[in-house]
Structure 1
Amino acid sequence: MTLQLLASFFLFFCLPLIFLILSKAYSAATANSNKKLLPKSYPLIGSYLDVAANTDRRIQWLSDIVLISPANTYTLRRFLGNRNVITANPAVVQHILKTRFPLYQKGHAFQEALRDFLGNGIFNTNGDNWKFQRQVASHEFNTRSLRKFVENVVETELNDRLIPILAAAVAQNQVLDFQDILQRFAFDNICRIAFGFDPEYLSQPLGQSKFAKAFDDATEISSRRSSSYALPLIWKVQKLLNMGSERRLREAVSEVREFAKNIVRDKKRELAEGTSPESADMLSRFLSSGHSDEDFVTDIVISFILAGKDTTSAALTWFFWLLSKNPEVEKKVVNEAREKSECPVYDEVKDMTYTHAALSESMRLYPPVPMDGKEAMADDVLPDGTVVKKGMVVTYHVYAMGRMEKLWGRDWAEYKPERWLEREGNGGGSDKWRYVARDSYSYPVFQAGPRVCLGKEMAYLQMKKVVGAIVTRFKVVPAMEQEAEPQFVSFLTSKMKGGFPVNIHSLA
């Protein structure tokens, strides 16, 4: 019994400490080395030391690796012989997301890491459960719903909340965290269109929200769980003992779930009392479909908050930063927004072709979801010849794909919306642009295949409406060192580390 206790103590406490010391020493020793060298692999621990040394720049480090690897695919050796395939090869992306879709699923390790937070919501499930959620949710994205979303929800949120906040910042010469503002805006929008509930998150005063802090903490800690390259057993022991980050995760998830459950309970009450028209929103459809279990519907609510709150706000944050660095692009976006401002609201945003291209180009460089992985349910061979064994995870690296010369040309590092456009008419003499979409397996920003994002068009419409409303009234100026590039980080979805401080200047 004593030996078992000693072994457990070594496994749960000493071993992680040894790894931490080794990784810090390794990080210091390699600080001046070539960042683009392939990672070294050792018996038992695989490439753990390189992984740990690059924890703070994991996205960029893995991008460097796949971009210099043959066929842009690399097999990363992990702890105790486990392996993870990372790819930026479009043929492989198509293989796992479409051709062999039934074979590549949300794996057990991924689901287990996110289950406390996302439960069995649409982003953490497979099979019939996923199909049902997707089928019901799809009704929210028809033309009628999209028009309602733009004309009623987004327009109201802009005029009643966002624009007055920006105007007040001008009057008071106030520095705003624009990333936080955009997250609040997107959160109000998704709650109103999907749940028929207005959290008034963007209403004044803009104090720290307990729910928002809990949601961000739950997202970050769950993400660290799912991307653990050492011992998943470490977070499991911490959870069992209710200590460290797992203690905070338990508290955060409790707050998030209580918030979501209150939305579900209020909607149930409205439906029972007949004060909410049946199927008026997505939540009503789920509750009217016969699947009214509170925990199940709560999982759905949390998943859609994650999708609606963090992805569009991330895309817009990086878009406005890129716009500030590229005045010629900014000028074209402003001119188009002014030209379309006289059109009906829905037609205005639908026809903002140049802005649509500028947003696509921004997401190429800074995708809201920079990496996504699927677990193989059986042995397989990828199109580039990589052997995949059952249980291995194949991760497609969206961030790296946006930086591939073979996909985007030698000028891939330039922010260039024109790469998405061509002149209308065979002669090319027309002054009107036509948007040319890229192959979704070369540009999987919205995933691809059967799991392609349902909210893609809604996201573009919302973003274009926000851009048009802001750039015709204000100039967004980063309040940071002129040459400093913000750090791109990702916890399930990407963020600008430390927020996006800006000054707002009036154009009036």
Structure 2
Amino acid sequence: MLLLILIPLLSLLFFFFFLNSNSNSKVPKSYPLVGSFFAFLANRKRPLPWLSGIMQVSPSATFVLRRNYSTRQVFSGNPAVVQHILKTNFSNYGKGHVINRTLTDFLGHGIFNIDGDSWKFQRQVSSHEFNTKSLRKFIETVVDTELSDRLIPILSSAAKQGTFLDFQDILQRFAFDNICKIAFGFDPAYLLPSLPQAKFALAFEDGVRISSERFSAVHPVVWKFKKLLNIGSEKRLKNAISEVRELALNIIKEKKQRLGEKESLDSVDLLSRFLSSGHSDENFVTDIVISFILAGRDTTSAALTWFFWLLWKNPEIESEILNEINEKSEAPVFDEVKDMVYTHASLCESMRLYPPVPTDSKEAVNDDVLPGGTVVKKGMRVTYFPYAMGRLEMLWGSDWAEFKPERWLQKEEESWKFVGRDPYTYPVFQAGPRICLGKEMAFLQMKRVVAGVLRRFKVVPAFEEGVNHEPEFVSYLTSKMKGGFPVKIVERDHLRHDGTES
């Protein structure tokens, strides 16, 4: 009887919402029983612009949405709130139950899906891989070899033959080879001229996408029910996870064998450190391998994809970067990329608009009050929002929509000096105790790719002719350019002075 009453009531609320809402510009109304459920439903395919629009008109850049009858979630782009949850009251905000239950199948108990002592241990062991000696080795051997032996020949061949490439896919392959080589001493050879469709890489992509889609399900019970019955997307996820874990396990077993054959390896990598730390549980180490592949493959490739798109839209900035590349061309590889100030600023500006991780949520361990007065109850999720923060006039001025590297620079005589923003205004790499360990490694890798590619080639987007195409920014666990990034590669020797083909 109750169900017969609720169904027409919910239907009336649904139609009332669509007739009366302006979901693009203000906090949606909360209705009895269902909260703002219909607003979430209507915008489930465009959550980032929808939530950003709400934040842009919220005076404190913080608002609360009632997702259903019992669940409230805080969204904030206020630097004071970000600092509070990531540093000041760090112990009260962890990954929490929602994140953990949604991602455990794929990420297990790896560093990005846990809190407490296990997180501290993984972070402590990992931190040894990011000293200056390791970073220099990474750039001078791993990245430079992958660039000169694989990426440049593929781009050169595409330029000569006039073929098109999905540059997002190319950059993912490049980053995937790099992280596997530096972290695990394993070369997957994914960026070969044949562009092989490796089962592992395809499975990894499916695992990331389907795991993240669980968050946008109408209700968690939907994906849990599909998982229980082993149907649809959950069946595909199960198969993908099996494929990913099998390869990760093979990497671990091979490394164990090599460690057993020698008292010490010539080169100590991240995987060797974990296996030598007394943790021989292969499932645990497999979780670590998967987490670091996610971090190393998806974040830098996402950042570079949007960076090259923005350079094409802003040729004057590309010219400034080319001037810097030419000025540094005689320096050793590591010193060259380390000192590319204008390029560094341009990458920061690109990630302001298109952050590799657009949102991040924490769950309150105990009741709390955020700066500004928002009350947080135990178990509530607080989401800080790098994507929306990059679009806030209160943080970046009225010209926030412009791609403007100069906002990160200060002129000193004839040269530029980089002037960073605090990590709570610009939390692209998180902040506080969980700030990204690989931040400097990521910048060095990206600058080396930019220098190596732009020195010889112009990357020209190849979307449908005659269409003013603006690629769609989508977010899984990391961001993507929906449908890929089709490009034409043009040798700079074949360009006129105005940048067009000769």
Structure 2 equivalent of residue 267 of structure 1: 255
For 1:435-454, what per-residue CA distance to the aligned partner results, in whole angstroms no more than 9, with x for missing partners? 01101000000000000000
Structure 1 equivalent of residue 480 of structure 2: 495
Q: Does 1:311 align with 2:299?
A: yes
Please, which of 386, 398, 401 is the counterpart of residue 398 of structure 1? 386
Contact 1:373 1:395 in 2 (8 A): yes
Structure 1 equivalent of residue 362 of structure 2: 374
Structure 1 equivalent of residue 434 of structure 2: 451
Amino acid at match of 1:450: P
CA distance in 2, matches of 1:111, 1:143: 33
CA distance in 2, matches of 1:313, 1:251: 25
Amino acid at match of 2:285: V
CA distance in 2, matches of 1:434, 1:494: 29
Q: Does 1:102 align with 2:85?
A: no
Please, which of 352, 355, 364 is the counterpart of residue 343 of structure 2? 355
Please, which of 148, 152, 160 is the counterpart of residue 159 of structure 1? 148
SS at match of 1:480: coil
Cα shift at 1:47? 1.1
SS at match of 2:360: strand
For 1:304-325, what per-residue CA distance to the aligned partner results, in whole angstroms no more than 9, with x for missing partners? 0000000000000000000000
Contact 1:278 1:285 in 2 (8 A): no
Please, which of 31, 45, 53 is the counterpart of residue 42 of structure 1? 31
Structure 1 residues 26 and 493: alpha-carbon distance in aligned structure 2, compared to 1, 3 A threshold: farther
CA distance in 2, matches of 1:97, 1:287: 30
For 1:457-478, what per-residue CA distance to the aligned partner results, in whole angstroms no more than 9, with x for missing partners? 0000000000000001000000
SS at match of 1:79: coil
Amino acid at match of 1:53: A
Amino acid at match of 1:486: P
Structure 1 residues 172 and 451: alpha-carbon distance in aligned structure 2, compared to 1, 3 A threshold: same
Please, which of 454, 458, 461 is the counterpart of residue 475 of structure 1? 458
CA distance in 1, matches of 2:391, 2:13: 29
Structure 1 residues 178 and 29: alpha-carbon distance in aligned structure 2, compared to 1, 3 A threshold: farther
CA distance in 2, matches of 1:111, 1:23: 32
Structure 2 equivalent of residue 177 of structure 1: 166
Q: Does 1:89 align with 2:89?
A: no
CA distance in 2, matches of 1:214, 1:475: 32
CA distance in 2, matches of 1:222, 1:307: 15
Q: Does 1:486 align with 2:477?
A: no
Please, which of 246, 255, 278 is the counterpart of residue 234 of structure 2? 246
Q: Does 1:421 align with 2:409?
A: yes
Q: Does 1:134 align with 2:119?
A: no
Amino acid at match of 1:360: C
CA distance in 2, matches of 1:375, 1:324: 40
For 1:85-104, what per-residue CA distance to the aligned partner results, in whole angstroms no more than 9, with x for missing partners? 00000000000000000000
What pairs up with 1:268-287 in 2 under 5 angstroms? 268-274=256-262, 277=265, 280-287=268-275
What pairs up with 1:42-61 in 2 under 5 angstroms? 42-61=31-50
For 1:40-71, what per-residue CA distance to the aligned partner results, in whole angstroms no more than 9, with x for missing partners? 22222211111111112111111111221231
Amino acid at match of 1:274: K
Structure 1 residues 252 and 470: alpha-carbon distance in aligned structure 2, compared to 1, 3 A threshold: same
CA distance in 2, matches of 1:320, 1:207: 24
SS at match of 2:300: helix
Structure 2 equivalent of residue 388 of structure 1: 376
Cα shift at 1:234? 1.7
Contact 1:278 1:284 in 2 (8 A): no
CA distance in 2, matches of 1:446, 1:227: 24
Cα shift at 1:208? 2.5
CA distance in 2, matches of 1:198, 1:364: 32
Q: Does 1:213 align with 2:202?
A: yes
Percent of paired sites with the same residue: 65
Structure 1 residues 205 and 423: alpha-carbon distance in aligned structure 2, compared to 1, 3 A threshold: same
Gaps of 5+ in 2: 494-502
For 1:130-186, what per-residue CA distance to the aligned partner results, in whole angstroms no more than 9, with x for missing partners? 000000000000000000000000000000000000000011101100000000000
What pairs up with 1:197-208 in 2 under 5 angstroms? 197-208=186-197
Cα shift at 1:241? 0.8
CA distance in 2, matches of 1:278, 1:30: 67
SS at match of 1:434: strand
Structure 1 residues 350 and 115: alpha-carbon distance in aligned structure 2, compared to 1, 3 A threshold: same
Query: Normalising by structure 2, what TM-score?
Result: 0.94
For 1:183-231, what per-residue CA distance to the aligned partner results, in whole angstroms no more than 9, with x for missing partners? 0000000000000110001012113222222111111111122344x42
Amino acid at match of 1:483: N
Cα shift at 1:27? 8.9
Structure 2 equivalent of residue 299 of structure 1: 287
CA distance in 1, matches of 2:34, 2:156: 55
Cα shift at 1:278? 7.0
For 1:239-285, what per-residue CA distance to the aligned partner results, in whole angstroms no more than 9, with x for missing partners? 11111211111111111111111111111111011186177100000
CA distance in 2, matches of 1:298, 1:29: 50
Structure 2 equivalent of residue 427 of structure 1: none
CA distance in 2, matches of 1:73, 1:383: 10
Contact 1:79 1:231 in 2 (8 A): no
Gaps of 5+ in 1: 425-429
Structure 1 residues 331 and 232: alpha-carbon distance in aligned structure 2, compared to 1, 3 A threshold: same
Please, which of 321, 345, 351 is the counterpart of residue 333 of structure 2? 345
CA distance in 2, matches of 1:81, 1:240: 25
SS at match of 1:37: coil
What pairs up with 1:5-16 in 2 under 5 angstroms? none
Cα shift at 1:108? 1.0
CA distance in 2, matches of 1:383, 1:266: 50
Amino acid at match of 1:367: P
Structure 1 equivalent of residue 135 of structure 2: 146
CA distance in 2, matches of 1:366, 1:169: 27
Amino acid at match of 2:482: K
Cα shift at 1:24? 9.1
CA distance in 1, matches of 2:100, 2:453: 39
For 1:469-496, what per-residue CA distance to the aligned partner results, in whole angstroms no more than 9, with x for missing partners? 0001000000014621100000010000
CA distance in 2, matches of 1:25, 1:150: 57
SS at match of 2:362: strand
Contact 1:106 1:375 in 2 (8 A): yes
Structure 1 equivalent of residue 500 of structure 2: none
For 1:415-449, what per-residue CA distance to the aligned partner results, in whole angstroms no more than 9, with x for missing partners? 0000000022xxxxx11111011010000000000
SS at match of 1:415: coil
Contact 2:190 2:196 in 1 (8 A): no
